[in-house]
Structure formats: C-alpha cells, structure tokens
Structure 1
Amino acid sequence: MKSRLAIVAGLLCLALPMLADDDRPTLNIDLHSRVSFMNDRVGNEIRHDASGFKGDYFFLIANGQVDDHFSYSWRQRINKKIDRNDMFDATDWLYVSYQADRHWGVAAGKQVVMIGGYEYDRSPIDIYTSSEFWNNIPCFQFGASASYTTTNGKNRFAFQVSQSPFNIPQHRDMLAYNAFWGGNFGFLNTLYSLNMIEYSPSHFISYMALGHKLNVGNASLELDFMNRAASGQTFMFKDCSVMARVDYRVLPQLSLYGKFTYDVNRAEKEADKCVLPGTELTAIGGGVEAYPLKGKSDVRVSLSVAHSTGTNSNPAGTMLDDQTTVRLGLVAKLHVLSWKK
C-alpha cells in the first residue's frame, strides 16, 4: 500500500509542473471509501466468507482543467490488486478531453463504456443492491469518443469506440461500438444507449439500454430497461434486465430507498457473458441512509437489506437463490485538495 501511494504522489508531482505552463490549470483530488459490516445468508445458513467486516472500495480521484479546452480525469482503486500482465487493471478511468466549443468535444484513454441506465451510471460506492448484469459487466475499457451538446444544454449525444468488455488476452482487438444519448428536461432525465459489442471474434451482441430518472420534490425514481440480443435469436424480452430504485429524503439528514432488479436470459445462444442462459433472478432491497454532517452528504451511514430468489446458471455468479444480505456501511467522500494557478 505504501509503495502504491508513493507512485500516486510521484505522478501528481510530475503533473503539477506540466500544468503550471498552461493558461489556467486546476487540480482537484478526492478520496472515496466505503466499509461495511455484512451478514450474508442463503436460507438459514450464514456464508462466513462473505460476512463480517469488509473494506468495499477505496478510490483516489484526480481531475481538473489544463486550459480552456483540455481537461483530464483519473480514478484509481487503491485497494485493488494490480495484475502483473495489466498495469491498468486497478485504473477505472484515465483520459484526456478536448472541448472544441460549447457543442463539440472528444476524449481518449481508459473510459467508462457508454452503456445507458442509471444503475450502471452510479458509482459502485453508492450501490447496495445490484442486478446480476451490473455485477458482471467489465465497464472500464480503453477507447475514444466524440460528443455533441445542444445549444440549450438539455441533450448530449455521443459515439464511442472502445475495447470490448469481453476482450481476452488472445484477442485484445475485439471492439465495442456505442451510441449514447443523455437528456435533461427538469423533472425527467434520460440515459439511453445502443451498443454493438464483440463477445467473440467477429460475433456481436447488441444492447438497448433505456434509463429514466424522475424527480418530484424530495423523491426520485430511477427506472432502467436493458435488452440484449445476438444474431439468430429473438430480439426483444428474451434476454433482458429491469432495475428500479426509489429514494425519498424524509429529513435533511435522513433518507429512505428501495430497489428492485430482475434479470432473465431464456436465449439458447452463449452470447451474453453477464447474464448467462438459464438465469432468472429477482432481487428486492431497501434501507435507510443518515448524514451526520449537517448540510453535507460527504459522510453517510447506511443500513440496507436485500433478498434475491431464482436461478443463476453462472457458477461464479454473485446473486444466489434465497439469499439475504444485511449491510451496515460507512461511506466517506473526502475532498483533499483544490489547486488553481
């Protein structure tokens, strides 16, 4: 851990002189962490290996402006082991963006694969109950993207070419083609995508992801639908997922949430690498979040309960039949540094 932090500090020291030569460079550094105490049971049997105290996530996040056009963003998982064959394995993203004007922008580096939906868009630190799809999609890949934002700022369209989330060492050149739309219409927001993803050389699976978020007063509802299909199978509803989350801020320092997920794959083709054929899983969860710092949500204490039922045909899958998980968690999102020349 000490050597990893020393490497991070060294990289930041190298970055500062580079930034100092530009027009108006900025640097922001944050640390995000979540620790939990878990009770995980299948039926009446406790899963000892999945229970007890657990350090879930520890993120280092650095981002800022180089000048009026160039910006950068970097998120590193400090507590994730780095594979000797992939030095970027613990790097969620590391990319540079160029904003030509108020409409057009491009970016390149390791990015989030542009797949729609609000569950997919949330930071993992903020998710307690998740779909089987979310648990199995390798969503950070190298690629490049171009985006266009409309004059009123309500619509953002993007196209991205990236490594396939399912690339393998023998085929690093497998690709994904992603078209994305994000809409902001006040009480209604959208995150839509159409994706063509290579799951084996020259074979593609398509995603249609439709994410919606409704905001009404102190309440919000996120509703996602994702359909997945490959050549030679029925396109709609045979292989799909539904995710829904409702949040209600009862008091300034207290909120309640509920979550529902449903994953099913009745296709016979071995194209879906996230929800395997023969899987049908339902999960229901809910809980309470408390914010001990008045007027801030940087520190959060949560108590959540989730229960899943159904069949998971993936031997290495995350969700199990008749599984109940109780989680007491502490989240800290700490702003460490803001620097501007």
Structure 2
Amino acid sequence: MCVLGGVFANKLANAQSVEPTQEPDSLAQRIDLLQQEVDQLKQKNDRFNLLINFQGNNRSNFDQNGFVDNKFTIDQFRIEMMGELADGLTYRFRQRINSTSGNGNQDGLSFATDVMELQYEVNDDFRIKFGKQAEMLGGYEFDYNPIDIYQYTLIGNYCKGFLTGVNFSYDIGAQNLNFQIVNADNTLSTDRLPEGVNETGAAMGYNVLWYGSLFDGKLQPIWSYQLYNNYEDAFTKRVNLGFRINQKKPNRFFEFEVYNSSEDVDDMKLVSDVYQQFEGNDNTLMTDVQYYGVVGKYRYAFSDKCHALVKYAYEKANTKDGSFYGETSSTQSDVFTSQTGVVAFEYYPYGYADGFRVHLAVSSQGFNYVDQVNAAGVEDISNSSIMIGVKHRLQLF
C-alpha cells in the first residue's frame, strides 16, 4: 500500500510541475509556446469535468383502482464530477440531489452518494478501482445511466446498488473481466434477523463479471456471479446473464437478461415485506428465499433523432421458510409474480450522440400474489404512469 501511495504521489507531483518558459524569439518558438498553452489548458480541463444527470417528467399516475394524480416530477437529478489527476490516475464522484441524504451506511457515506472512487491504470489492460462504486450486477439494465431508465425491474430496483470496496479489471482482447470485493450491504437488517441467524464480523461480497464481445461485436454478453456473505453462515448467491444482439444499423438492438437469486436470508426483502403484512406477524426476515426472472428489451432507431423501445420483465418469488404460511414443512411455496412493461417514444433534436432527449413513455409494474397471500388480506398491486418529459447528461465543464 505504501508503494502504491508513493506511485500516486509521484504522478501527482509530476503532473503539477511546470517547466519555466523563455521569451520566444521567433515565429516557430511562438507557435511552440501557443501549443504548450493549449496543451496545459486541455490538461486542466481533463482534471475537472462537471456534469448534470437529469430526467424530469409530467407524470400521470394510476393504480389498480384507477387514476391517482398528475404532477411534475424530477425523477433523476445527480451531480457528477470526474477527471484525470495524473497520468493513469482518475477520479469520479456522483451525488443524488433528489434522494435521502441520511447516513448509517457501513462505509460512513450518505445514502445519496452513488460513486466516490479512484481508479489507477496499471497498464493498458489492467485497472484497479477503489471506493464507493456500482456493484457488478451483470445484465444490461443496471449498466445504464439511471436517467435512461423509465421503470426498473425488481432486480434493478432492489439490488444493493452502490457499495464500497475494490475492483480489479483486466482486458483480454475484446473481453473485459472484473473481480470485485465490497461490503456485503450498506444497510444490513440486524434488527430483523430470524432465530438462529447471527451477525458476522466480515460481511463481504465477491462479484465476478464478464463484459464480452463476440462475432465482431454482434453479440455482447454481460454475465456475473455474486456471492454475498451477509450474515454468519448465510449467503446470497446470484447469477445474472445478460445479452445484447446488435443489428447492422446503429442503435437497433435486442437485450435479454435472465437471473436467479438464491438467498439464505431474504436479501431483496420483498418476500419478508409481504409476510410482515399478515395479521399478527412482525418484520422478521424470511429464510430460504429465491427470486428469478427474465427481462427483454428492444430498441429501434427510425433515424438518428427518432427512437422507440419496448421492455418487458417477468419475475417470481418463492420461499421454503415454513413459517411463511404457518407450516412446518420446508417445501417450496410461491409468493408472487411480477410483470413490468415499458413503451417509449424518444426524440433527440440534436442527434442521439448528444444525449438530450424528449420522450413520451408508458410504464407499468404489478404484483400478483398467490391465493394464500390474498386470503391473508394482501391485495394485488398495479402501478402505471404516463410520462412526458426530458432527460440530459449536461456537461458544464
């Protein structure tokens, strides 16, 4: 660590040193001096970039009973700073403005802090990243900037999200491999532990992810395996396999994702939250819970400025915890199925690469509970929205 710190310090010192210049005597020297000044200005700009990630909508909301309300919403507003401190040493910081800033995380950072990381490029193929960062979840949905999402699936919305740790990234030709070690969770629910489950002093997560490129980029997999040791002898094991199939014309592609999350103690907590609604039950976390689902999305570009997309997800949850239905058997019991759908039309007035977007989107997400859950007084849920709005990733500096 001391050696690595010395490398960082030397790079910073070298980056900040300025050679003395002499008064130019000729036109060639004046041109050289001008080029040096341009290079220095570019270097300063590379060190600090400020961006605003924004999505705002006029949103009409509906539930299973009909119309709820219409209002203007700022659904995403995140300030982002990034730059190159020295050759091969970069930083990135992203903060949510329209989110709770409460503390209580294992890492001491606010819940609203998405990213606070340093990355060191050892060579052209190998990079080390340290700090709070996105978990290596796999699949395509979580790989997008949140401003590009109209409605998250369950796995995208209830995953751990952003955790503090270290990531090692290595390129092998067109393939990229990652190994990540992070805190197992920022908000471990130690007050909800079931009987016989204890805290662990080393709640860590170990994630492996592959960014692939096959058949000259026509097929691009994002596969991951996650192992989280949340509690003593209690693990979450998750496989997430994502694919993108690119068509010949740009911005026309199909994305497909399938996942399975096997949780010794309910990590996503959706099944436990259903159990909590049963009369007489407390908020104890369920055990032996499983979530799985499939997600598909297709984007079609009519032109560089006009796009459309459709997205559909089918997800399911079950548990072997006998206490869920008041039974002592350990047979698998279904709890709910969930369906998510999105249809969107997008217009990019300055072209797709610019990123500024005007959109009309319809999203829907519902929970259909099994008969035993309905009989216990838990009603099916359906939430839909019609959104007319804009999004942009605006670079100020």
When normalised by structure 1's length, the TM-score is 0.80
Residue 349 of structure 2 aligns to a residue whose secondary structure is coil
Q: Which residue of 2 aligns with 1:203?
A: 234
What is the CA distance between 1:121 and its match in structure 2?
0.9
Aligned letter for 1:29?
A: L
Q: Is the 8 A contact 2:15 2:86 kept in 1?
A: no
What is the CA distance between 1:21 and its match in structure 2?
1.6
Q: Which residue of 2 aligns with 1:127?
A: 149
- Structure having the higher helix fraction is 2
- Structure having the higher strand fraction is 1
What is the CA distance between 1:84 and its match in structure 2?
4.4
2:59 is aligned with 1:38:
yes
Alpha-carbon distance between aligned partners in 1 of 2:316 and 2:239, rounded to the nearest angstrom: 15
Residues 76-118 of structure 1, C-alpha deviation per residue, up to 9 Å, x if partnerless?
A: 1122231144543211011111111122221110011111000
What is the CA distance between 1:200 and its match in structure 2?
3.2
Q: Is the 8 A contact 1:176 1:195 kept in 2?
A: yes
Mapping 1:1-341, distance limit 5 Å: 21=16, 26-48=47-69, 51-85=70-104, 86-150=108-172, 152=173, 154-165=174-185, 167-168=187-188, 173-185=202-214, 186-216=217-247, 217-218=249-250, 219-230=252-263, 239-269=291-321, 278-294=335-351, 296-311=353-368, 321-337=381-397
Residues 123-142 of structure 1, C-alpha deviation per residue, up to 9 Å, x if partnerless?
A: 11111132122121231011
Structure 2, unpaired ranges of 5+: 1-11, 19-42, 191-198, 266-288, 323-332, 374-379
Cα 1:263–1:301, aligned 2, differ >3 Å: closer, same or farther? same
Q: Is the 8 A contact 1:260 1:284 kept in 2?
A: yes
Identity, % of aligned pairs?
Answer: 21
What is the CA distance between 1:183 and its match in structure 2?
0.9
Aligned letter for 2:71?
A: G
Q: Which residue of 1 aligns with 2:284?
A: none
Residues 259-287 of structure 1, C-alpha deviation per residue, up to 9 Å, x if partnerless?
A: 001110123249xxxxx961211122212
Root-mean-square deviation (Å):
2.9
Alpha-carbon distance between aligned partners in 2 of 1:122 and 1:57, rounded to the nearest angstrom: 13
Residue 319 of structure 2 aligns to a residue whose secondary structure is coil
What is the CA distance between 1:166 and its match in structure 2?
5.9
Tell me which structure has the larger Cα radius of gyration.
2
Range moving further from structure 2, 328-337 or 167-176: 167-176
Residue 160 of structure 2 aligns to a residue whose secondary structure is coil
Residue 184 of structure 1 aligns to a residue whose secondary structure is coil
Range moving further from structure 2, 165-174 or 103-112: 165-174
Cα 1:230–1:324, aligned 2, differ >3 Å: closer, same or farther? closer
Q: Is the 8 A contact 1:130 1:261 kept in 2?
A: no
What is the CA distance between 1:227 and its match in structure 2?
0.9
Matched pairs, number: 303
Cα 1:211–1:30, aligned 2, differ >3 Å: closer, same or farther? same
Alpha-carbon distance between aligned partners in 2 of 1:72 and 1:84, rounded to the nearest angstrom: 23
What is the CA distance between 1:70 and its match in structure 2?
1.1
Residue 212 of structure 2 aligns to a residue whose secondary structure is strand
Aligned letter for 1:196?
A: L
Alpha-carbon distance between aligned partners in 2 of 1:269 and 1:226, rounded to the nearest angstrom: 21
Q: Is the 8 A contact 2:208 2:224 kept in 1?
A: yes
Structure 1, unpaired ranges of 5+: 1-16, 271-275, 315-319
Higher relative contact order (CA 8 A, sep 6+): 1
Alpha-carbon distance between aligned partners in 2 of 1:132 and 1:80, rounded to the nearest angstrom: 19
Alpha-carbon distance between aligned partners in 1 of 2:205 and 2:334, rounded to the nearest angstrom: 21
Alpha-carbon distance between aligned partners in 2 of 1:97 and 1:285, rounded to the nearest angstrom: 35
Residue 213 of structure 1 aligns to a residue whose secondary structure is strand
Residues 13-32 of structure 1, C-alpha deviation per residue, up to 9 Å, x if partnerless?
A: xxxx9996279562221111
Residue 137 of structure 2 aligns to a residue whose secondary structure is coil
Alpha-carbon distance between aligned partners in 2 of 1:306 and 1:29, rounded to the nearest angstrom: 31
Alpha-carbon distance between aligned partners in 2 of 1:240 and 1:176, rounded to the nearest angstrom: 20
Alpha-carbon distance between aligned partners in 2 of 1:163 and 1:22, rounded to the nearest angstrom: 38
Cα 1:34–1:166, aligned 2, differ >3 Å: closer, same or farther? same
